[in-house]
A and B are shown apart, each in its own frame.
Chain A
Amino acid sequence: MAIQTDAGAAPAASALDADAIRGISERLGEPDWLRQLRADWWARVEATPPPTGAEEEWRRTSLTELPRDARLVADAPHVRCALDDDLAAQGVVFSDLRTAAASHPELVRRWLGQRQASSTHAHFWAVAHAAWTGGTFLYVPDGVVVDRPLVASTHLPDGEIAFFPLTLIVAGEESSVTLLEQVASADSQRSWYGGVVDLVTQRGAKVRHANLQQLGDAAWNIGAQRVEVGQDADVTTLNAEVGSRVTKVGLDVRMTGAGGTSRLLGLLAAGGKQHIDIDTLQDLIGSHTTSDLLYLSALYDEARAAFYGVTRVEKQAKGTSSYQECRNLLLSPHAGAEPIPVLEIETNDILRCGHGATAGAIDPVQRFYAQSRGLTEDEAERMIVRGFFEQVLAQIHTELIRERVLTALAPRIGESEGVAA
């Protein structure tokens, strides 16, 4: 994979500050509106202090070792996006955000930086909006159906870098699109990856968005994702977290339009001393909305997974349906899990509401059965983990995404070849 490195980067500009933000605009030769937008978001960064650790969502991840002095990547890397001509002809825009800001300024200006993240992630959301130097822009006009999966991939340059890619997805009315975003970096690079996703769906839009994170084993991944589900819209998101030293991602799903549906899927495969902490909010605001969440973790070595998920059914949201499920498979005596599914229900007019959370080792009966059929202990474990993940994998209907997710998981959970389904 071609890696564009930040060869001519300025000397290590220590922490982020207003000058550094202006420097990005200078270097990229940005128009006034974009300079102003960055400055406005920087003002919000300064007005919104980083989490202290006292917030419920931040109690399980300490930011003291976050490489805040990492060098801000100004020039790189471009996200690799490819869009077929026929789709471009229908008005679909899919490119690196920097390219889009230059090629489709009106469109980007209309949608970029217009939304606020939940208060607990507001700081990092604002940082990315002020300091982004890359990211993905996807716009699908009303009524356009993108019939093949789009892929955006990023490989981070080496070094102690800070990179804040911003993904902005706007799906017009009755449109349909599937996007896979992949990010990877080399091991032992203490970088700060602060990716945010801003996904907006209008009436009846259908979006599938998969995030495949394969950062190196020293990277800090502090992300925020905001999903707005419009009237009768249908959104599936997948977070497959494989890499990084520390991952802390906040997923904020707002079911604003009546009749909207969201499926929130997660696969975590962690080992070594990895720490993965996900917090989610399924905010049921509109009537007759449906939101189902399923996060699965397989935890090896000394890995730790925390999950804090809130389902909130607001007073005016009638006839909603929601479920939240978090399962943790502990594959080492030193692995740990803290699944915390929270319900806050302010109305009695609900169709269905509940949650489930589990943590435990492989059922010895399953293991015994698999070994009695001639599998070695390792093979049995691989097969069982693969079967455990199938609950999510079965809901990924795009073959390309399934394959890439399985490939990314393989170094951790083992190849799935040779194992009968």
Chain B
Amino acid sequence: MAIPNQALKQIPDSYKYGWHDSEQPLPVFKKGLDADVVAEISRIKDEPQWMTDLRLKAYRHFESRPLPTWGGDLGGIDFQDIYYYVTGTGKSFQNWDDVPDYIRRTYDRLGIPEAEKKYLAGVGGQYDSEVVYHNIRTELEKQGVIFVGTDQGLKEHPEIFREYFGTVIPANDNKLAALNTAVWSGGSFIYVPKGVHVELPLQAYFRINTENMGQFERTLIIADEGSSLHYVEGCTAPTYSTASLHSAVVEIIVKKGARVRYTTIQNWSHNVYNLVTKRAVAYEDAVMEWVDGNLGSHLTMKYPSIYLMGERAHGEVLSIAFAGDEQHQDAGGKVIHAAPNTTSLITSKSISKGTGRTSYRGLVKVYPGCARSKSTVRCDALILSDEARSDTYPYMEIDEEDVTIGHEATVSKVGSEQLFYLMSRGLSEAEASAMIVNGFIEPIVKELPMEYAVEMNRLIQLQMEGAVG
């Protein structure tokens, strides 16, 4: 494949978000997938029989389903050329001092600010497939909040785990969710008890660090009645020369009156296929918000969904996509109104430059009887070069009369007057373009935690270097 090499060339020397530590020897598994590999993963993890059975059932489903023919070009994925399970360091760490130097170095390269390090007690970092660091703040423990790796969640909280796992995204939902269910490893398991408000965003970093290593993390979040939580998932990846697959599944249950915000900034290296299924169910008076930033990867196909199951539930999807040369961001959001008086808002901002392509793909569905539902979808696309492409595919299925559903989209370029004005004030063309782009995505960036907003602006600047012309 020619793509990764070209992708490598366009990354400026100062690019600090792609790195590659020398790998520790991790010779656990062979490449490729069959039922034996699936069973072996389950055996190594010492899982209960129901999980082994579920993995095998999901594997059969994965085998029988064709690859999607819509969206991006998935032809570059060779499912038999991927490792489906790798252990990173073999054990989890109780506190920050125990984390090996080379992993801490990678966190440093991410530019995590000092202030945030203080709160690393609230961070679960994922190194390869296993959770290597999880330090639950005592405060959270006191509140009864569970925040552990998903494997640990299965072991330590089997009842609650089994009650919810796979209920939002069943094993047979789609081919890639089936694959994840068959081979999942790592991710976060979070339970917030009734009425508990987690004030600090819970954060987890993910990274891939083994060539051809697929990551199949699985996250399950349950926010019990009247609770609230903000979860932040950021991921960066080293750059490799062959295609890599990231296929996560995130399931969220937002119970009556609870509130969950899930923020992702995805900056996979430009050889990664990022095919993720994310879905939440929101019950009566609940609020679910997805903030989804897609900057990296070769191809991303990700449409965070919200099922509004109870009256007055509210769902929001804020999506930013940035596609540079050879990148395709096929992202968007789905909201399914399945109860009366439910409301939703999808806002998408996408930017394509070079030969990049951004596609907004979304769905708003209103079932019969969901009276007084309201939904607004707003998509804005900025195209920065003649070779770039932008698409908008907003699906709407409205089966209820008493609703207010609207969709609007615009496509534009950076205006020459805007550029001229900024350059007349002494900015270079690249700086001026970066400023305009930052202004364009501002409505979403302002929703990010401060560190992420800063990082996002830096990334845009980095992306804009050499973008003009």
With contacts A347-B383, A353-B411 known, is A336 near B392, CB below 8 A? no
Let me know if A406 is at the binding interface, CB within 8 A: no
B386, B392, B395, B408: which has the most chain A beta carbons within 10 Å?
B392
1/0 contact string of A325-366 vs chain B (CB within 8 Å): 000101111111111111111111110011111111100000
B383 and A342: CB pair below 8 A?
no
B173 contact set on A, CB distance < 8 A: none
Let me know if B309 is at the binding interface, CB within 8 A: no
Let me know if A315 is at the binding interface, CB within 8 A: yes
Closest CB-CB distance, B143 to chain A, in whole Å? 42
A332 and B401: CB pair below 8 A?
yes
Partner of A342, one of B381, B386, B391, B410: B391
B401 and A335: CB pair below 8 A?
yes
Partner of B411, one of A337, A341, A354: A354
A333 and B401: CB pair below 8 A?
yes
B401 and A348: CB pair below 8 A?
no
B409 and A354: CB pair below 8 A?
yes
B410 and A360: CB pair below 8 A?
no
1/0 contact string of B401-436 vs chain A (CB within 8 Å): 111111111111100000000000000000000000
B383 and A361: CB pair below 8 A?
no
B398 contact set on A, CB distance < 8 A: 328, 330, 336-338, 359-360
B404 contact set on A, CB distance < 8 A: 358, 360-361
Let me know if B211 is at the binding interface, CB within 8 A: no
Partner of B408, one of A340, A344, A354, A361: A354
CA distance A381 to B413 in the complex (A): 42
Closest CB-CB distance, B390 to chain A, in whole Å? 5
* Contact residues on B (Cβ < 8 Å of other chain), bracket: 20 to 34
B383 contact set on A, CB distance < 8 A: 345, 347-348, 350
A341 and B394: CB pair below 8 A?
yes
B392 and A334: CB pair below 8 A?
no
CA distance A355 to B406 in the complex (A): 11
Taking CB atoms and an 8 Å cut-off, the chain A residues in 59-98 that contact chain B are none
B388 and A359: CB pair below 8 A?
no
Closest CB-CB distance, B175 to chain A, in whole Å? 17
A361 and B402: CB pair below 8 A?
yes
B408 and A350: CB pair below 8 A?
no
A330 contact set on B, CB distance < 8 A: 398, 400-403
B407 and A338: CB pair below 8 A?
no
A356 and B408: CB pair below 8 A?
yes
B411 and A360: CB pair below 8 A?
no
Closest CB-CB distance, A122 to chain B, in whole Å? 20
Q: Nearest chain-B residue to A363 (Cβ)?
A: B404
Q: Nearest chain-A residue to B365 (Cβ)?
A: A338
B391 and A345: CB pair below 8 A?
yes
B409 contact set on A, CB distance < 8 A: 341, 343, 354-356
CA distance A332 to B387 in the complex (A): 46
A328 contact set on B, CB distance < 8 A: 398
1/0 contact string of B261-286 vs chain A (CB within 8 Å): 00000000000000000000000000
Let me know if B140 is at the binding interface, CB within 8 A: no
A350 contact set on B, CB distance < 8 A: 383, 411-413
B392 and A355: CB pair below 8 A?
yes
Let me know if B368 is at the binding interface, CB within 8 A: yes
A358 and B405: CB pair below 8 A?
yes
CA distance A345 to B314 in the complex (A): 32
Closest CB-CB distance, B335 to chain A, in whole Å? 14
B401 and A361: CB pair below 8 A?
yes
The 10 closest A-B pairs by CB, nearest first: A348-B383, A343-B392, A330-B401, A348-B413, A354-B410, A353-B411, A359-B398, A357-B407, A360-B404, A359-B405
- Beyond contacts A340-B395, A343-B390, A343-B392: 12 other A-B pairs, Cβ-Cβ < 8 A, are A330-B400, A333-B368, A333-B402, A334-B368, A336-B399, A339-B407, A342-B391, A353-B410, A354-B409, A357-B407, A358-B404, A361-B403
- Residues of A at under 8 Å CB distance from B? 315, 328, 330-350, 353-361
Ordered by A's residue number, 5 sampled pairs between the chains whose C-beta atoms are within 8 Å are A338-B398, A340-B396, A341-B392, A350-B412, A361-B404
